[in-house]
Every structure is written in structure tokens, then in C-alpha cells.
């Protein structure tokens, strides 16, 4: 009897072990499938953005003049049409080695192609840009540090230069928190949990205050931070 019970217990143990092994294999396969899917999405998004940027580079005048903000009567941002979509310009982030077109309006479909204007205007220092956390888009936004450079170029070739002041994590449902504050430029994306937003706040500076290495000048950043906090 004892031998039979021992044999039965061994069979149950082997069965449980086999089930756990199978479950582990399924989890690994699911993770690999998800990783592959995300990689393919990121690659496709990068190709779409690069295509739009190539066309836009022909239409944009380039860095011809520094953009003007402040007492601007018309804050509506002009657009250029590419493949049936409206773009308001491009964003350059040297530290992350990315240059991306920016769609005129946010949509889930659009964000699969390029970052989108979420709200505001570059002409009155209220622009908020949202992007997916694809590696080819805003996936490395968390790597930006105080003083890093960001440039937005509108479709008329006017360049608006910024430095990063701070980065924060905001709850995904806290829309008020995303929009509040006197920030000249805000960039945000989902973090990998999907329930929070990696958010980067920037202040506008003159081109003469920007260096070519990707980092801004510390005293300029300090001055801009004081101004934004006021």
C-alpha cells in the first residue's frame, strides 16, 4: 500500500512538474512574441517617420531664422500635407540622436507614425508633444537630463530652441498635471508599465545659448528654471 501511494505521489509530482514546465514555456513564448511585436511596431514607426521626414526636408526651408514667440496674434500653427496627414514641423533631440516629424493633432493611429501635437502652440510657448514609447520615437525620453537641447522647427523654417529643465513621472489619468505649469515645451510618453507618463519640461532659449554637444549652458538653465517657477 505504501509503495502504491509513493508511486501515485510521484506521478502527481511529475504531472505538476510537467504542467509548470509547459506553463513556463508558454510564458517565454508569449514574452518573445510580445517583444517581437513591439520591435516590429517600433521599426515600422521609424520607417514611417523617416519617410515623412524625407519629404518634409524638401519642403521645409531649414534653419533660416530663429522663431519668435510672445506677442503673437495668430498662434495657429501652419501645416504641411504628407501622404494625407497634416504635420506642423519636426523635433530634433541631439542627446537621443533623433529627428522626428510632428503631426498636427493627436490620435492613436497617428502616434503609430510620428509624435503628435497634444495641445498648445509653439508661438505662445504652450506646445505639448506626445509620442509612443517606441525606441524609434520617445522610448528613450527618460534619458534626457537638465540642460539637454531640444529644437522644434515649424513648416516655415523657424527654429525654436529649448533646454530641458526637469523630468517627472505623471499618472496616466492626471491630464491636469500634464497641462499645468508655465512650461514653454512639454514632451511626454508612456512608461513601460503603460499607466504612467514620462514627462520632460523645457524652457525656450536663444540659439546663441545652445551648444552642439546636446547639453545646454548651466546658467541659462538655471535662469529659465527660475522664470518657469515664477
- Residues 193-212 as b/e (b if ≥16 CB within 10 A, e otherwise) read eeebbbbbbbbbbeeebbee
Res 52 pLDDT > 70: yes
CATH homologous superfamily, domain 54-229? Sortase (2.40.260.10)
The alpha carbon dihedral of 193, 36, 105, 155 has a sign of: positive
Res 213 pLDDT > 70: no
Question: So where are the chain's domains?
Answer: 54-229
Q: What confidence tens digit (pLDDT) does each residue in 81-128 have?
A: 999 999 999 999 999 999 999 999 999 899 999 999 999 999 999 999
- What mean pLDDT comes out for the span 171-178? 86
- With cell 540659439, the residue in question is 207
Amino acid at each position: 500500500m505504501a509503495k502504491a501511494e509513493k508511486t501515485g505521489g510521484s506521478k502527481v509530482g511529475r504531472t505538476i512538474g510537467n504542467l509548470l514546465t509547459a506553463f513556463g514555456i508558454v510564458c517565454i513564448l508569449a514574452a518573445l512574441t510580445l517583444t517581437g511585436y513591439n520591435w516590429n511596431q517600433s521599426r515600422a514607426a521609424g520607417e514611417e517617420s523617416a519617410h515623412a521626414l524625407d519629404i518634409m526636408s524638401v519642403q521645409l526651408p531649414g534653419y533660416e531664422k530663429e522663431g519668435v514667440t510672445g506677442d503673437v496674434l495668430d498662434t495657429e500653427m501652419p501645416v504641411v500635407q504628407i501622404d494625407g496627414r497634416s504635420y506642423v514641423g519636426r523635433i530634433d533631440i541631439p542627446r537621443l540622436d533623433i529627428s522626428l516629424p510632428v503631426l498636427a493633432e493627436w490620435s492613436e493611429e497617428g502616434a503609430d507614425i510620428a509624435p503628435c501635437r497634444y495641445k498648445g502652440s509653439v508661438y505662445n510657448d504652450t506646445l505639448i508633444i506626445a509620442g509612443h514609447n517606441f525606441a524609434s520615437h520617445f522610448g528613450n525620453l527618460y534619458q534626457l537630463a537638465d540642460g539637454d537641447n531640444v529644437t522644434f522647427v515649424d513648416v516655415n523654417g523657424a527654429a525654436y530652441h529649448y533646454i530641458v529643465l526637469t523630468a517627472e513621472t505623471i499618472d496616466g489619468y492626471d491630464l491636469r498635471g500634464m497641462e499645468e505649469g508655465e512650461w514653454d515645451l512639454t514632451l511626454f510618453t508612456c512608461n513601460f508599465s503603460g499607466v504612467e507618463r514620462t514627462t520632460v519640461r523645457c524652457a525656450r532659449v536663444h540659439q546663441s545659448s545652445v551648444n552642439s554637444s546636446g547639453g545646454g549652458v548651466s546658467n541659462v538653465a538655471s535662469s529659465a528654471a527660475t522664470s518657469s517657477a515664477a
